[in-house]
Chain A
Protein backbone atom coordinates (compact mmCIF):
# COMPACT_ATOMS: atom_id res chain seq x y z
CA UNK A 1 0.00 0.00 0.00
CA UNK A 2 1.37 3.38 -0.89
CA UNK A 3 1.77 5.81 2.00
CA UNK A 4 -0.75 8.24 0.44
CA UNK A 5 -3.70 5.95 1.06
CA UNK A 6 -6.25 7.20 3.55
CA UNK A 7 -10.00 6.95 4.16
CA UNK A 8 -12.12 9.39 2.15
CA UNK A 9 -13.47 10.72 5.43
CA UNK A 10 -9.98 11.79 6.50
CA UNK A 11 -9.25 13.96 3.43
CA UNK A 12 -8.66 17.65 4.05
CA UNK A 13 -10.62 20.36 2.25
CA UNK A 14 -9.25 20.90 -1.24
CA UNK A 15 -7.34 17.59 -1.39
CA UNK A 16 -7.81 15.28 -4.39
CA UNK A 17 -7.38 11.54 -4.55
CA UNK A 18 -8.14 8.43 -6.55
CA UNK A 19 -10.62 5.87 -5.21
CA UNK A 20 -9.15 2.47 -4.28
CA UNK A 21 -10.86 -0.92 -4.76
CA UNK A 22 -13.82 -1.06 -2.39
CA UNK A 23 -15.22 -3.59 0.06
CA UNK A 24 -18.94 -4.13 -0.39
CA UNK A 25 -19.94 -4.98 3.16
CA UNK A 26 -20.76 -1.34 3.90
CA UNK A 27 -24.37 -0.37 2.98
CA UNK A 28 -23.26 2.91 1.40
CA UNK A 29 -20.89 1.27 -1.07
CA UNK A 30 -23.42 -0.09 -3.63
CA UNK A 31 -25.03 3.35 -3.79
CA UNK A 32 -21.75 5.17 -4.16
CA UNK A 33 -20.78 2.75 -6.94
CA UNK A 34 -24.09 3.36 -8.73
CA UNK A 35 -23.43 7.09 -8.53
CA UNK A 36 -20.12 6.51 -10.24
CA UNK A 37 -17.66 6.63 -7.35
CA UNK A 38 -15.67 3.70 -8.76
CA UNK A 39 -12.17 2.41 -8.12
CA UNK A 40 -10.00 4.81 -10.09
CA UNK A 41 -12.44 7.75 -10.00
CA UNK A 42 -10.89 11.06 -9.02
CA UNK A 43 -12.51 12.68 -6.02
CA UNK A 44 -12.04 16.08 -4.36
CA UNK A 45 -12.96 17.10 -0.83
CA UNK A 46 -15.02 20.27 -1.28
CA UNK A 47 -15.87 21.13 2.30
CA UNK A 48 -16.78 19.86 5.74
CA UNK A 49 -20.07 20.98 7.32
CA UNK A 50 -19.80 23.63 10.06
CA UNK A 51 -20.59 21.07 12.76
CA UNK A 52 -17.88 18.67 11.51
CA UNK A 53 -20.15 16.20 9.72
CA UNK A 54 -21.22 15.49 6.96
CA UNK A 55 -18.63 16.20 4.27
CA UNK A 56 -19.11 17.31 0.68
CA UNK A 57 -17.12 15.68 -2.11
CA UNK A 58 -16.94 16.21 -5.87
CA UNK A 59 -16.50 13.52 -8.52
CA UNK A 60 -17.57 13.15 -12.15
CA UNK A 61 -18.77 16.76 -12.11
CA UNK A 62 -21.24 16.05 -9.34
CA UNK A 63 -21.20 17.18 -5.73
CA UNK A 64 -22.35 14.84 -3.02
CA UNK A 65 -22.88 15.25 0.70
CA UNK A 66 -22.29 12.16 2.83
CA UNK A 67 -21.69 11.37 6.48
CA UNK A 68 -18.21 10.56 7.67
CA UNK A 69 -19.44 7.14 8.79
CA UNK A 70 -20.36 6.36 5.17
CA UNK A 71 -17.30 8.08 3.71
CA UNK A 72 -15.12 5.85 5.89
CA UNK A 73 -16.06 2.89 3.66
CA UNK A 74 -14.03 4.32 0.76
CA UNK A 75 -10.23 4.53 0.66
CA UNK A 76 -8.45 7.04 -1.57
CA UNK A 77 -4.88 7.39 -2.80
CA UNK A 78 -3.70 10.96 -2.34
CA UNK A 79 -0.22 10.32 -3.75
CA UNK A 80 -1.21 10.12 -7.39
CA UNK A 81 -1.96 13.80 -7.83
CA UNK A 82 1.33 14.81 -6.23
Chain B
Protein backbone atom coordinates (compact mmCIF):
# COMPACT_ATOMS: atom_id res chain seq x y z
CA UNK B 1 0.00 0.00 0.00
CA UNK B 2 1.10 3.52 -0.66
CA UNK B 3 1.42 4.78 2.87
CA UNK B 4 1.75 8.55 2.88
CA UNK B 5 1.13 8.90 6.59
CA UNK B 6 2.87 5.76 7.88
CA UNK B 7 5.94 5.62 10.09
CA UNK B 8 9.11 6.18 8.08
CA UNK B 9 11.14 2.97 7.98
CA UNK B 10 13.93 4.08 5.66
CA UNK B 11 14.97 7.70 5.42
CA UNK B 12 17.69 8.73 3.00
CA UNK B 13 18.59 12.39 3.29
CA UNK B 14 20.77 13.85 0.53
CA UNK B 15 22.71 10.60 0.26
CA UNK B 16 25.86 10.92 -1.81
CA UNK B 17 28.16 7.97 -2.50
CA UNK B 18 31.41 8.12 -4.42
CA UNK B 19 33.19 4.96 -5.49
CA UNK B 20 36.92 5.43 -6.14
CA UNK B 21 36.41 9.17 -6.45
CA UNK B 22 33.52 9.02 -8.90
CA UNK B 23 30.14 10.10 -7.60
CA UNK B 24 27.69 7.26 -8.12
CA UNK B 25 24.79 8.59 -6.06
CA UNK B 26 24.18 12.31 -5.85
CA UNK B 27 21.85 13.86 -3.31
CA UNK B 28 19.32 11.05 -3.15
CA UNK B 29 16.28 11.80 -0.96
CA UNK B 30 13.95 8.89 -0.40
CA UNK B 31 11.62 8.10 2.47
CA UNK B 32 10.01 4.69 2.60
CA UNK B 33 7.16 4.16 5.00
CA UNK B 34 5.92 1.13 6.88
CA UNK B 35 4.21 -1.45 4.69
CA UNK B 36 5.14 0.06 1.35
CA UNK B 37 6.24 -2.11 -1.57
CA UNK B 38 8.77 0.01 -3.41
CA UNK B 39 10.45 -0.93 -6.67
CA UNK B 40 13.82 0.72 -7.30
CA UNK B 41 14.12 0.83 -11.04
CA UNK B 42 16.75 2.08 -13.44
CA UNK B 43 19.25 1.12 -16.09
CA UNK B 44 22.57 -0.58 -15.41
CA UNK B 45 24.83 1.89 -13.66
CA UNK B 46 21.97 4.17 -12.61
CA UNK B 47 22.91 3.63 -8.95
CA UNK B 48 19.96 1.55 -7.77
CA UNK B 49 22.09 -1.27 -6.35
CA UNK B 50 24.48 1.24 -4.83
CA UNK B 51 21.54 2.92 -3.13
CA UNK B 52 20.49 -0.38 -1.55
CA UNK B 53 24.08 -1.02 -0.47
CA UNK B 54 24.20 2.47 1.06
CA UNK B 55 20.90 1.91 2.87
CA UNK B 56 22.08 -1.41 4.32
CA UNK B 57 25.43 -0.01 5.43
CA UNK B 58 27.52 -1.96 2.92
CA UNK B 59 28.63 1.22 1.16
CA UNK B 60 29.90 4.15 3.24
CA UNK B 61 28.22 7.47 2.51
CA UNK B 62 30.32 10.35 1.22
CA UNK B 63 27.75 12.73 2.64
CA UNK B 64 24.12 12.72 3.68
CA UNK B 65 22.32 10.62 6.24
CA UNK B 66 20.46 7.34 6.40
CA UNK B 67 18.05 6.39 9.14
CA UNK B 68 16.51 2.94 9.57
CA UNK B 69 13.48 2.74 11.85
CA UNK B 70 14.35 6.24 13.04
CA UNK B 71 17.88 5.30 14.13
CA UNK B 72 20.92 6.69 12.31
CA UNK B 73 22.51 3.85 10.30
CA UNK B 74 25.75 4.21 12.24
CA UNK B 75 24.01 3.39 15.51
CA UNK B 76 21.57 0.87 14.11
CA UNK B 77 21.97 -2.50 15.85
CA UNK B 78 18.57 -4.15 15.39
CA UNK B 79 19.80 -6.27 12.50
CA UNK B 80 16.99 -8.77 12.97
CA UNK B 81 14.52 -6.19 11.65
CA UNK B 82 16.21 -6.24 8.25
CA UNK B 83 16.20 -9.00 5.65
CA UNK B 84 18.68 -8.62 2.83
CA UNK B 85 18.81 -10.54 -0.44
CA UNK B 86 22.08 -9.55 -2.12
CA UNK B 87 22.62 -9.62 -5.83
CA UNK B 88 24.13 -13.02 -6.47
CA UNK B 89 24.06 -15.41 -9.36
CA UNK B 90 24.22 -18.42 -7.07
CA UNK B 91 23.75 -19.43 -3.47
CA UNK B 92 26.55 -22.01 -3.72
CA UNK B 93 30.14 -21.58 -2.54
CA UNK B 94 33.31 -23.66 -2.82
CA UNK B 95 31.99 -26.35 -0.48
CA UNK B 96 28.63 -28.15 -0.68
CA UNK B 97 25.94 -26.69 1.54
CA UNK B 98 22.40 -27.91 1.98
CA UNK B 99 19.41 -25.67 1.31
CA UNK B 100 18.53 -25.78 4.99
CA UNK B 101 22.03 -24.71 6.05
CA UNK B 102 21.97 -21.68 3.77
CA UNK B 103 18.51 -20.67 4.99
CA UNK B 104 19.51 -21.27 8.62
CA UNK B 105 22.28 -18.68 8.36
CA UNK B 106 19.52 -16.09 7.97
CA UNK B 107 18.56 -16.85 11.54
CA UNK B 108 21.91 -15.58 12.86
CA UNK B 109 20.40 -12.14 13.45
CA UNK B 110 18.44 -13.65 16.31
CA UNK B 111 20.93 -16.20 17.61
CA UNK B 112 23.62 -15.85 20.25
CA UNK B 113 27.04 -17.16 19.18
CA UNK B 114 28.06 -20.52 20.70
CA UNK B 115 24.45 -21.40 21.52
CA UNK B 116 22.73 -24.21 19.60
CA UNK B 117 19.69 -23.36 17.48
CA UNK B 118 16.49 -23.26 19.50
CA UNK B 119 13.20 -24.84 18.51
CA UNK B 120 11.94 -21.40 17.45
CA UNK B 121 15.00 -21.04 15.18
CA UNK B 122 14.32 -24.36 13.50
CA UNK B 123 10.64 -23.56 13.06
CA UNK B 124 11.44 -20.20 11.50
CA UNK B 125 13.76 -21.89 9.01
CA UNK B 126 11.09 -24.45 8.18
CA UNK B 127 8.44 -21.73 7.72
CA UNK B 128 10.74 -19.75 5.42
CA UNK B 129 11.39 -22.86 3.31
CA UNK B 130 7.67 -23.53 3.05
CA UNK B 131 6.89 -19.96 2.07
CA UNK B 132 9.21 -20.15 -0.95
CA UNK B 133 8.03 -23.67 -1.74
CA UNK B 134 11.34 -25.47 -1.17
CA UNK B 135 10.59 -27.41 2.02
CA UNK B 136 10.89 -30.70 0.14
CA UNK B 137 14.39 -29.75 -1.10
CA UNK B 138 15.77 -28.78 2.34
CA UNK B 139 18.36 -31.55 2.47
CA UNK B 140 19.60 -31.20 -1.07
CA UNK B 141 22.78 -29.41 -2.01
CA UNK B 142 22.16 -25.81 -3.02
CA UNK B 143 24.36 -26.19 -6.09
CA UNK B 144 22.04 -28.87 -7.50
CA UNK B 145 19.14 -26.38 -7.68
CA UNK B 146 18.37 -24.21 -10.69
CA UNK B 147 19.26 -20.53 -10.67
CA UNK B 148 15.70 -19.48 -9.91
CA UNK B 149 15.40 -21.97 -7.07
CA UNK B 150 18.68 -20.67 -5.65
CA UNK B 151 17.22 -17.16 -5.63
CA UNK B 152 14.27 -18.54 -3.70
CA UNK B 153 16.74 -20.06 -1.21
CA UNK B 154 18.33 -16.62 -0.75
CA UNK B 155 14.91 -15.10 -0.13
CA UNK B 156 14.08 -17.83 2.38
CA UNK B 157 17.37 -17.03 4.13
CA UNK B 158 16.29 -13.40 4.51
CA UNK B 159 12.86 -14.55 5.70
CA UNK B 160 14.25 -16.85 8.38
CA UNK B 161 15.13 -13.93 10.65
CA UNK B 162 11.50 -12.67 10.64
CA UNK B 163 12.43 -9.18 9.48
CA UNK B 164 10.07 -6.24 8.99
CA UNK B 165 12.00 -4.60 6.19
CA UNK B 166 13.28 -6.41 3.11
CA UNK B 167 15.92 -5.25 0.67
CA UNK B 168 16.05 -7.40 -2.45
CA UNK B 169 18.74 -6.64 -5.02
CA UNK B 170 17.63 -7.98 -8.40
CA UNK B 171 16.25 -11.30 -7.23
CA UNK B 172 14.71 -11.95 -10.63
CA UNK B 173 17.79 -11.39 -12.81
CA UNK B 174 18.17 -14.43 -15.04
CA UNK B 175 15.28 -16.27 -13.40
CA UNK B 176 12.72 -18.12 -15.52
CA UNK B 177 9.04 -17.18 -15.43
CA UNK B 178 7.75 -20.00 -13.16
CA UNK B 179 10.40 -19.14 -10.58
CA UNK B 180 9.64 -15.42 -10.91
CA UNK B 181 6.02 -16.28 -10.19
CA UNK B 182 7.06 -18.31 -7.14
CA UNK B 183 9.15 -15.36 -5.96
CA UNK B 184 6.26 -12.97 -6.52
CA UNK B 185 3.98 -15.29 -4.53
CA UNK B 186 6.38 -15.28 -1.58
CA UNK B 187 6.72 -11.49 -1.72
CA UNK B 188 2.95 -11.05 -1.87
CA UNK B 189 2.58 -13.10 1.32
CA UNK B 190 5.24 -10.99 3.00
CA UNK B 191 3.68 -7.77 1.90
CA UNK B 192 0.28 -8.90 3.12
CA UNK B 193 1.82 -9.64 6.51
CA UNK B 194 2.76 -5.98 6.69
CA UNK B 195 6.44 -6.16 5.74
CA UNK B 196 8.07 -3.23 3.98
CA UNK B 197 9.72 -4.31 0.73
CA UNK B 198 12.39 -2.48 -1.26
CA UNK B 199 12.99 -4.34 -4.49
CA UNK B 200 15.70 -3.50 -7.00
CA UNK B 201 14.76 -4.69 -10.45
CA UNK B 202 15.35 -4.22 -14.12
CA UNK B 203 12.01 -5.59 -15.03
CA UNK B 204 9.15 -6.33 -12.70
CA UNK B 205 7.43 -9.16 -14.56
CA UNK B 206 5.05 -11.01 -12.24
CA UNK B 207 5.93 -8.62 -9.39
CA UNK B 208 4.31 -5.69 -11.16
CA UNK B 209 0.90 -5.92 -9.46
CA UNK B 210 2.58 -5.92 -6.03
CA UNK B 211 4.41 -2.65 -6.48
CA UNK B 212 2.68 0.39 -5.09
CA UNK B 213 5.48 2.86 -5.57
CA UNK B 214 8.25 3.12 -8.13
CA UNK B 215 11.49 5.02 -7.59
CA UNK B 216 13.33 5.35 -10.86
CA UNK B 217 17.05 6.08 -10.70
CA UNK B 218 18.96 7.68 -13.50
CA UNK B 219 22.63 8.54 -13.42
CA UNK B 220 22.81 8.51 -9.63
CA UNK B 221 19.74 10.65 -8.99
CA UNK B 222 16.07 9.97 -8.40
CA UNK B 223 14.37 10.68 -11.72
CA UNK B 224 10.86 9.65 -10.75
CA UNK B 225 9.17 8.79 -7.46
CA UNK B 226 5.52 7.94 -7.34
CA UNK B 227 2.86 5.48 -8.37
CA UNK B 228 4.14 2.88 -10.84
CA UNK B 229 3.59 3.95 -14.41
CA UNK B 230 1.49 1.60 -16.45
CA UNK B 231 2.99 0.33 -19.63
CA UNK B 232 0.53 2.27 -21.75
CA UNK B 233 1.35 5.49 -19.96
CA UNK B 234 5.01 5.00 -20.75
CA UNK B 235 4.87 3.65 -24.24
CA UNK B 236 1.54 4.91 -25.47
CA UNK B 237 0.79 1.53 -26.99
CA UNK B 238 0.70 -2.05 -25.94
CA UNK B 239 3.85 -4.15 -25.67
CA UNK B 240 3.54 -7.91 -25.22
CA UNK B 241 5.95 -7.78 -22.33
CA UNK B 242 5.55 -11.29 -20.84
CA UNK B 243 7.61 -12.66 -23.68
CA UNK B 244 10.54 -10.28 -23.35
CA UNK B 245 13.28 -11.39 -21.03
CA UNK B 246 16.25 -9.39 -22.20
CA UNK B 247 17.80 -6.79 -19.96
CA UNK B 248 16.95 -3.74 -22.02
CA UNK B 249 15.45 -1.32 -19.52
CA UNK B 250 11.96 -0.78 -20.90
CA UNK B 251 9.73 -1.42 -17.92
CA UNK B 252 12.68 -0.91 -15.63
CA UNK B 253 13.32 2.68 -16.52
CA UNK B 254 10.43 4.17 -18.43
CA UNK B 255 11.87 7.65 -18.38
CA UNK B 256 15.02 6.51 -20.13
CA UNK B 257 12.79 5.29 -22.89
CA UNK B 258 10.82 8.52 -23.07
CA UNK B 259 14.02 10.43 -23.51
CA UNK B 260 15.54 8.25 -26.15
CA UNK B 261 16.90 5.24 -24.26
CA UNK B 262 20.40 4.63 -22.97
A and B: real partners? no
